Amino acid sequence: MSEGSVRFDSDALQQRILALRGERVMVDSDLAELYGVEARVLNQAVKRNAERFPVDFSFVLTKEEKQEVITKCDHLQRLKFSPHLPRVFTEHGAIMVASVLNSPRAVEMSVFVVRAFVRLRQVLVEHPDLAERLDELEARVARHDNTLSTLVATIRQMATAPTAPSRQIGFVVDPLEKKE
């Protein structure tokens, strides 16, 4: 495989590998771009060969997951206005897509994709504390979100709290008092 024929460098490819549902995955549009086909063509090939793509090879994102992916990945902003939920592929699914597409470019890129997944796995093995630190950071952010939500709710409640009626200014004449 010549480096000139590879559209992504290894680091750029690793940045397109996402962590969802405890799996490392690539979005269909990224994989299609890598394999040199349209995402529509890739998804049609997957639908024609659905038996080759069990849930542990490929799955469709939920609306919430789609929103999360769009928020985290700037290069996926084009998905924001798409009515379709994107499909993602695990390492095994990415290899299976290459066999379904069966083009020389797809075969060449599948080797490249496998190497990127393996390299990412090696980084996580070499730095086991990294995953733990990411989990801690995620938990801390969740706690901060809860605290901020409570704070905002309290501020809104204070802003809309009824005010005490104003006291009347001036002399108050008691109607029961006798006039002389």
Position 150 in a domain: no
Residue-level pLDDT at 5: 45
Interatomic CA distance for residues 22 and 131, integer angstroms: 12
pLDDT at 8: 57
Strands 87-89 and 23-27: antiparallel
Q: Let me know if residue 167 belongs to a domain.
A: no
How many CA atoms, within 13 angstroms, populate the side-chain half-sphere of residue 75? Answer: 12
pLDDT in tens, 93-151: 888 888 888 777 777 777 777 787 788 778 778 877 877 777 787 778 777 777 777 87
The answer to the question of residue 158 being in a domain is no
Residue 180 in any domain: the answer is no
Residue 115 CB contacts under 8 Å (≥ 6 apart), including other chains: 10
Domain around 88: 7-132
Residue 137 resides in a domain: no
Instruction: Say if residues 29 and 39 touch (Cβ distance below 8 Å).
Output: yes
| Torsion angle of the four alpha carbons 123, 129, 133, 134, in this order, in degrees rounded to the nearest 10 | 30
Tokens matching residue 56: 């542990």
Residue 159 lies in a domain: no
Tokens coding 34 = 């890598």
80 occurs within a structural domain: yes
Q: Residue 7 pLDDT > 70, yes or no?
A: no
What pLDDT, on the 0 to 100 scale, is given for residue 2? 41
Q: pTM of the prediction?
A: 0.58
pLDDT average, residue stretch 16-39: 87
Number of domains in the chain: 1
* Residue 149 forms part of a structural domain: no
Q: How confident is the model at residue 59 (pLDDT cuts 50, 70, 90)?
A: very high
Contact in structure between 117 and 17 (CB atoms under 8 Å): yes
Of 2-11, 30-39, 108-117, which gets the smallest average pLDDT?
2-11
Distance CA 5, CA 35 (A): 11
pLDDT at residue 47, rounded to an integer: 92
